[in-house]
Amino acid sequence: MSTLEAPRPTRGDTVADPADLVTEALDLGYDGTRVVHALDLRLPPGQVTAIVGPNGCGKSTLLGALARVHEAQGGAVLLDGRDLATLRPRDAARRIGLLPQQAAAPDGLTVRDLVRYGRHPHQGLLRQWSPEDAAAVHGALAAADLLDLADRPLDQLSGGQRQRAWIAMVVAQQTAVVLLDEPTSALDLGHQLEVLELVADLAAQGRTVVLVLHDLSTACRHADHLVAMRDGRVVAEGPPADVVTAGLVRELYGVEAAVLRDPTSGTPVVCPVRRVAATG
């Protein structure tokens, strides 16, 4: 995170065992259409990585593959050196948590019930609900600042509160890796910050966090590491301040832009000027 940001106490338990998540020559696709091509990527442990790029560039597909939800068509995702595809789904779910875009819950589901779902990978036929599960759910509710709302139905919450509840479900999963697909889309500015501060806390506790984000300036402000994708390939990768240039914005989106510095954090801010032909 930025050096100029005022220190804020983090909430929740720290993760003892950071995960190393790597893709090697990863190919992904649906029904013969290749979406991601020969992708080599290393996600810095304990940091926030933002994946950005135009619609349909393969961001969400990549995130799904990192969580073992999409199968690799070639290459592999390695978790601590082991091929993710060889792990049992439940073992993978103990190390990697995923919040897909626009997740929907049944009507009347309470915040606490939703967060309890996060304990599923830790339960089995013989291992039902335990004090450990109760502690994890309580910790996740506290981390997301939802203890007062725990027994309210999700559909009665604000957009930001609802999104924090979903993230709390993933937190209760107690995974070393947290993957969030556009967690701030459809939220207003205050609610976006509410979610992104929670995300910062997760990384501060030693989790490897990967976000798919729509807005480049938001990504620059809140991520330690940026992965820019276009047409299923990585175009640029690195700390946002090093990576984001007018040339990159043109290459990604076909937009001419001025790249300024955020007066508070010093991170790049993208001001679009006009649409031009994409390069590269």
Q: Is 103 one of the binding residues for another protein (CB under 8 A)?
A: yes
Q: Does 110 bind another protein (CB under 8 A)?
A: yes
How many residues contact another protein, by CB under 8 A?
34
Minimum distance of another protein from residue 200's CB (angstroms):
22
Q: Report whether 249 contacts 271 (CB < 8 A).
A: no
Q: Among residues 70 and 225, whose Cβ is nearest to another protein?
A: 70
Which positions ≥6 away from 204 have C-beta within 8 Å? Answer: 10
Nearer to another protein, 103 or 273 (CB): 103
Give the one residue of 107, 126, 277, 279 binding another protein; rule: CB under 8 A.
107
Closest CA to 111 of 158, 58, 76, 77: 158
Tell which one of 37, 120, 138, 214 touches another protein (CB under 8 A): 120
- Residue 104 binds another protein (CB under 8 A): yes
Place of tokens 């947290």: 178
CA–CA separation, 195 and 205 (whole Å): 16
Handedness of CA 223, 225, 226, 232 (dihedral sign): negative
Given 12, 46, 53, 97, the residue binding another protein (CB under 8 A): 97
Quick one: which of 44, 54, 74, 100 contacts another protein (CB under 8 A)? 100
Q: What SS3 class is residue 204?
A: helix
Answer yes or no: are the C-beta atoms of 123 and 202 closer than 8 Å: no
Using rule CB under 8 A, residue 173 touches another protein: yes
**Closest distance to another protein from the beta carbon of 163 (Å):** 14
The residues facing 43 across adjacent strands are 21
Residue 157 interacting with another protein (CB under 8 A): no
Q: Does 92 bind another protein (CB under 8 A)?
A: yes
Helix (H) or strand (E) holding 278: none
Residue 182 has which token pair?
């556009």
> Among residues 48, 105, 141, 176, which is the contact residue for another protein, using CB under 8 A?
105
CB of residue 87 vs another protein: minimum separation in angstroms? 10
> What binding mask, one character per residue, do residues 35-74 give for another protein by CB under 8 A, x or -?
-----------------------------x--xxx-----
Q: In which element (H, E) is residue 201 found?
A: helix 189-204
Q: Amino acid identity of 121?
A: P
* Contact partners, residue 28, CB within 8 Å, separation at least 6: 34, 35, 36, 39, 58, 61, 62, 65, 70, 72, 73, 232
Find the shortest distance in angstroms from Cβ 9 to another protein.
Answer: 29
Q: How far is the CB of 203 from another protein (least distance, A)?
A: 19
Q: Which of residues 124-153 bind another protein (CB under 8 A)?
A: 125
Contact region with another protein (CB under 8 A), list: 9-17, 109-117, 198-206, 228-236: 109-117
CA 4 to chain centre: 23
The whole-angstrom distance between residue 69's C-alpha and the CA centroid of its chain comes to 14
Per CB under 8 A, residues contacting another protein are: 64, 67-69, 88-94, 96-100, 103-110, 113-114, 117-118, 120-121, 123, 125, 170, 173
